[in-house]
A and B are shown apart, each in its own frame.
Chain A
Amino acid sequence: MSKSRFFGLLFCLIFPLAVSAEETQLQRGAHVALEVCNACHSLKYVKYSDLTRLGFTKAQVDSMRGEKEMGAPLLSQMAPNDELGMFGIVPPDLSLMAKAREGGAEYIYSMITGFYTDSNGQTANHVFPGIKMPDVFMIAQADASGRREIEQKAKDVSAFLAWASDPQAEERKTLGRYVIGYFVFLTILLFFLKKKIWSRLG
């Protein structure tokens, strides 16, 4: 047993809740992103170590990263040149995708679930005509229950990509509440101070 596995197991024994609790949407999305998207797309601004901020244990991240360093970016599993040969383009980096499209996460969700079979029997996309990406979840062929499953995965991965594009959103909003609260308080004080000073004029 490797050292990291051992400590991972130890961690699970000490904090059983962290493991037994159901995975969050961001964690489910991270799995989809790593197991599906990351095969062709890089997420070069996201590092494996960042994944611990989603509540993954170090052991879980270790199993995701395989041979890669903890501080390594989530580069695509394929070499860019092979991708160029296969798709005609290098698939775009996904770390900022949720910010780089109008509509953000909703756009990504609609794109992933937007594949259909057109009248010529070709797979096409409602949102992105002429897309070079294949219908990876095969939603165009899916039946109703398969569709629901894929839609859930699309929702999860869109949420994950929104996080990847703006990982400090939570911290920012938490801090923002305190900062705004402080300024509201200060401004109220300034208002009364202003009243007091101006009252000298009579």
Chain B
Amino acid sequence: MNKIVAWIDQRFPLTPFIKHELTDYPTPRNLSYWWGFGFLAGFVLVIQIVTGIFLAMHYKPDSSMAFDSIQHIMREVNYGWLIRYLHSTGASAFFAVIYTHMARTLYYGSYRRPRELLWWTGQGLLLLMMATAFMGYLLPWGQMSYWGATVITNLFSATPVIGGQIVTWLRGGFAVDDPTLTRFFSLHYLFPFLIFAAVVVHLVALHTVRSSNPSGINLADKDNIPFHPYFTIKDLFGLGIFMIVYLMIVFFKPNLFIDAANNIPANPMQTPADIVPEWYFLPFYAILRAVPDLAGGVVAMAISVLIFAAMPYLDRSRITGGARYRPVYRAMFYVFVINIFVLGYVGAHPPSGPLKTVGEISTTIYFLIFLLLPFISRWEEKFVLARGLPPAVEAQARKEIAEAEGHV
């Protein structure tokens, strides 16, 4: 064994790589389980790719056969139902994990200097993931697949001048049809590998700047421990908990996230009573509908997703440790999270009466939180410093302020 490793090491830096990235990789020992969601996301990505490859062996990307081929997988392929439910539930699990991962980043301020690029690669991953999920949802060729794709591709008609052409170009025709299905299938198979590559970039960025930690203080060497075995085992235990929850849904509630209308084959002649996207798009869908004008709604929706990238600049506080030592930011974080759930609820229901007003208010709150953050965070910084902080946190905050001011 050692001989083989030595042989490889002369030709490829295997041992140094493992040493540098795993057995010697310094990780803050105070990371909580909230820091395990990145690993979970990587694991779900692998589940999705593996189950997806097996589904593609039996699936027919043809508008006259797609729906039937799903039932063929569900009924005739050996454990086809399991593969398909793992995949369809996996999509929801992926978003649940990623949203938690993002919430942790926001709560602990992990997007802050020097982790901006890490955060932005994550933002890119989110966009790729959304595109992949959206295209994958067309493949079962049910009513919701068809009309969801119709509504979302139609959003591009808001583009000035060439809007109509863009929509036709995206769909491969004037309406969602066989050419749309085949191109979505092709891209739905491609994008996960782009995501995989982007994850490698994300990890390179992570291993350059290293993990943030809940204290917000740059830890001394003695407080860092090797990633392996301490965090491999911690992440594996977290994975066990995740798998129990995920598999409970797969085996006992597999249709929880599958809209009833998607068990009706796509019918271009019949619009469903209410076109609702998957739960993970609902808050953004609510924002889209809260703006009366189509172009305005599309712009608002796009900004609502992309604005996360601006967080390193919107948050101007230099108090470290994220929301922990920042009462106002903490309150804003919780308001934001509750507001997201309200938007999700609004997005799932027809926009009429009081719900319409709720959607408009929630959308306003969503953007106000981001827009007020630069002012509130700077004011809060002064307030918190005046009130007093644990010495280590205060020292680091004052150091960062001095550095920033020195640059000016």
Q: Chain A residues in contact with chain B, CB under 8 A?
A: 45, 92, 95-96, 99-102, 104, 165-168, 172-173, 175-177, 179-180, 183-184, 186-187, 190-191, 193-194, 197-198, 201
Stretch touching chain A among B54-62, B250-258, B304-312? B250-258
Residues of B within 8 A of A193 (CB): 233, 237
Q: Are A183 and B240 in contact (CB under 8 A)?
A: yes
Cβ contact of A173, chosen from B225, B240, B252, cutoff 8 A? B252
**Nearest-neighbor residue (CB-CB) of A198 within chain B:** B230
The residues in B between 237 and 267 inclusive whose CB is less than 8 angstroms from any CB of A are: 237, 240-241, 243-244, 247-248, 250-252, 254-255, 258, 260-261, 263-264
**Nearest-neighbor residue (CB-CB) of A103 within chain B:** B260
Q: A165-B263, A180-B244, A183-B240 given. 12 additional CB < 8 A pairs?
A: A100-B263, A172-B82, A173-B251, A176-B247, A176-B248, A177-B251, A190-B237, A194-B236, A194-B237, A197-B230, A197-B233, A198-B233
Q: Are B240 and A180 in contact (CB under 8 A)?
A: no
Cβ contact of B244, chosen from A102, A165, A168, A187, cutoff 8 A? A187
Q: Are A183 and B243 in contact (CB under 8 A)?
A: yes
Residues of A within 8 A of B261 (CB): 100
Residues of A within 8 A of B236 (CB): 190, 194
**Nearest-neighbor residue (CB-CB) of B262 within chain A:** A100
Q: Are A45 and B75 in contact (CB under 8 A)?
A: yes
Residues of A within 8 A of B81 (CB): 168, 172
**Nearest-neighbor residue (CB-CB) of B258 within chain A:** A99
Q: Are B251 and A184 in contact (CB under 8 A)?
A: no
Residues of A within 8 A of B210 (CB): none
Q: Are A187 and B240 in contact (CB under 8 A)?
A: yes
Q: Are B75 and A201 in contact (CB under 8 A)?
A: no
Residues of B within 8 A of A102 (CB): 260
Is B71 on the interface with A (CB-CB < 8 A)? Answer: yes
CA distance A180 to B248 in the complex (A): 7
Most buried by B among A92, A99, A173, A190: A190
Is B234 on the interface with A (CB-CB < 8 A)? Answer: yes
The residues in B between 60 and 79 inclusive whose CB is less than 8 angstroms from any CB of A are: 71, 74-75
Is B163 on the interface with A (CB-CB < 8 A)? Answer: no
The residues in B between 149 and 189 inclusive whose CB is less than 8 angstroms from any CB of A are: none
Q: Are B240 and A96 in contact (CB under 8 A)?
A: no
**A–B pairs, 26, beta carbons within 8 Å:** A45-B71, A45-B75, A95-B71, A96-B263, A96-B264, A99-B263, A101-B260, A168-B81, A172-B81, A172-B254, A173-B252, A177-B251, A179-B247, A179-B251, A180-B248, A183-B244, A183-B247, A184-B244, A187-B240, A187-B244, A190-B233, A193-B233, A194-B233, A194-B237, A197-B233, A198-B233
Q: Are A176 and B251 in contact (CB under 8 A)?
A: yes
What is the CB-to-nearest-CB distance from A129 to chain B, in angstroms, rounded to a whole number?
13
**Nearest-neighbor residue (CB-CB) of A46 within chain B:** B75
CA distance A193 to B255 in the complex (A): 35
Residues of B within 8 A of A172 (CB): 81-82, 251, 254
Q: Are A186 and B240 in contact (CB under 8 A)?
A: yes
Q: Are A201 and B225 in contact (CB under 8 A)?
A: yes
Q: Are A180 and B229 in contact (CB under 8 A)?
A: no
